[in-house]
Amino acid sequence: MSERDKLHTGELFLPMDPTVLEEQLVRMDLLWEYNQLKPSRQAERAALLQKMLGDCGEGVYIEAPFYPWLSIKVNLRKISPVMVYIPT
């Protein structure tokens, strides 16, 4: 099983494995772009959330700065208006 597969199944993995590191650097670049956008640029922020998280329902909003570890794809669906705040 590859280190990337281990990462996505929750097993212990080597974070400096070239395939894991390559994937993480791409996601970190997207995250950096998201955190640099002005709050008024909501459409661009929503598009970046979609790329980073995989499945975002309409109206999902995450306050910047957003620093998830490993930027693993998750599903966020609109249930009710919610703001996620992750202190740094």
Please give the structure tokens belonging to residue 29. 């670049």
Instruction: Report pLDDT digits (tens) over 18-73.
Output: 888 888 888 889 889 999 999 899 889 888 888 887 767 777 778 788 877 654 55
Show the domain range for 7.
Answer: 3-84
- Whether the model pTM is above 0.85: no
Instruction: Identify the three-state secondary structure at position 56.
Output: strand
Domain count, the chain: 1
Sign of CA dihedral 75, 65, 85, 16: positive
Residue 58: predicted pLDDT: 73
Place of tokens 């097993």: 11
